[in-house]
Amino acid sequence: MQYLHFELSEGDDGVLTLDAMASTRADSHAAVMAEAQQVLDWAWREFPGQHGPVEEGMAWDHELLVQEEAGGWRTVTLTLSAAAHFVEAFVRKFGEDPG
């Protein structure tokens, strides 16, 4: 990944969170969105039927936000709430240790 670099945190409830954010000018926005879509496509494919609240036993959930900023900048934030086995598979697939 060129734009999105994930950081891992753990909530008090034991749910793991992978967060990534990229702020770019409009001309790079499509590339950032392609990276986010790559992650989401992988998650949907590898964990079918397991999308939803992790605290209710699902493997992963997500939030994707896009904000228009001043000066032609766009900020993309991708947050994945995840069970431990999802994070392990994520690291194997994307080769990035978010810890």
pLDDT in tens, 37-59: 999 999 999 999 999 999 999 99
Contacts of residue 20, defined as CB under 8 A and 6 or more positions apart, other chains included, come to 4, 5, 6, 7, 36, 77, 78, 79
Is residue 88 within 8 Å of 8, Cβ to Cβ?
A: no
Domains within the chain, CATH numbers bracketed: 7-94 (3.30.70)
pTM of the model: 0.91
Which pair of tokens denotes residue 21? 């954010």
pLDDT at 98 (0 to 100): 61
More confident residue, 51 or 26: 51
Mean pLDDT for the chain overall:
93
Q: In what helix (H) or strand (E) does residue 23 lie, and over which residues does it extend?
A: strand 16-25
Mean pLDDT of 79-93: 95
